[in-house]
């Protein structure tokens, strides 16, 4: 005997499949929303952590900038103080320079040489005077060269002159003072311009 199913089974199957599809779509949507929320939260956490690190670095950089400015200011003050110290040491070392120069000139000017003018500019001294002969001027230059206080004699001019019916030689001579060096100059390895230290 043949049995015929007259129930609308196709429609029921379609309806069941539709319900399964809707349920599956809802479940997937919920899962996608949950995953998106978790991902958003994790990324936000990383961003906040990085922002905190960035802010910390900015604060540290600002602190270091202040320290660098302070170091520059201290370095400028140190350089200024060292410059003043060098000037004071130079003045201290050369305070009796004029006395030494005049004493040394009195010792080194040979007989027959007369000084008319002495001018100092820095470490250069210009001597103008009269000599009985050219040889006396040469002797003066040799004496200056051998002096511990003066050095580098440089004859600018020598010419014949008549004074009180006497024939003399007028000369113009530049000499240089042999400067003392300070301890700082020695440490820096600066070459000493003088031949010896003055006492």
Among 4-13, 36-45, 55-64, where is mean pLDDT lowest?
4-13
| Cα distances (Å, whole numbers) of residue 66 to 25, 57, 73, 78, 83 | 60, 14, 11, 18, 26
Please tell me whether residues 65 and 131 are part of one structural domain.
Answer: no
Check residue 47 and give its pLDDT: 92
Q: Is 115 left (phi over 0), alpha (psi -120 to 50) or beta?
A: beta
Mean pLDDT value across the chain: 81
Backbone φ and ψ of 193, nearest 5°: -80, -25
At residue 139, does pLDDT exceed 80?
yes
User: Distance from first CA to last CA of the chain, Å, rounded?
Assistant: 147
* Whether residues 87 and 103 fall in one domain: no
CA atoms within 13 A on the CB side of 42: 6
- Give yes or no for residue 5 having a pLDDT over 70: no
* Highest-pLDDT range among 5-19, 38-52, 153-167: 38-52
Span 88-92, average pLDDT: 77
pLDDT reported for residue 70: 94
Task: Indicate if 82 and 100 belong to the same structural domain.
Answer: no
Query: Among 42, 73, 93, which residue terminates a domain?
Result: 93
77 & 105 share domain:
no
Q: Is residue 131 part of a domain?
A: yes
- Residue 26's pLDDT band, with cuts at 50, 70 and 90, is very high
Q: What is the pLDDT of residue 173?
A: 85
Domain extent for 157 = 96-187
- Structural contact between residues 151 and 178, judged by C-beta atoms closer than 8 angstroms: yes
Distance CA 33, CA 151 (A): 96
Same domain, 151 and 108: yes
- Say if CB 140 and CB 113 are below 8 A apart: yes
User: For residue 122, how many other CB atoms are within 10 A of its CB?
Assistant: 8
122: left (phi over 0), alpha (psi -120 to 50) or beta: left
| 114 domain-assigned | yes
pLDDT at site 194: 46
Q: How many domains does the chain have?
A: 2
pLDDT in tens, 146-170: 887 778 888 888 888 887 888 888 8
**Helix residue spans in the chain (DSSP H):** 9-93, 97-108, 134-146, 183-187
């Amino acid at each position: 005997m043949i049995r015929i199913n007259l129930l609308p089974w196709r429609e029921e199957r379609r309806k069941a499949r539709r319900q399964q599809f809707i349920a599956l779509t809802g479940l997937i949507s919920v899962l996608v929303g949950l995953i998106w929320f978790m991902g958003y939260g994790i990324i936000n956490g990383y961003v906040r952590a990085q922002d905190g690190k960035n802010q910390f670095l900015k604060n540290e950089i600002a602190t270091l900038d202040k320290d660098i400015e302070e170091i520059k200011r201290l370095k400028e003050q140190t350089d200024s103080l060292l410059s003043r110290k060098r000037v004071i040491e130079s003045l201290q070392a050369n305070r009796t320079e004029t006395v030494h120069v005049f004493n040394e000139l009195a010792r080194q000017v040979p007989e027959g040489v007369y000084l008319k003018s002495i001018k100092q500019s820095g470490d250069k001294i210009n001597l103008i005077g009269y000599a009985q002969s050219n040889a006396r001027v040469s002797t003066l230059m040799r004496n200056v060269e051998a002096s511990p206080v003066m050095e580098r004699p440089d004859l600018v001019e020598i010419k014949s002159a008549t004074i009180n019916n006497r024939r003399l030689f007028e000369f113009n001579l530049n000499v240089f003072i042999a400067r003392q060096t300070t301890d700082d100059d020695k440490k820096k390895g600066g070459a000493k311009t003088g031949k010896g230290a003055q006492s």
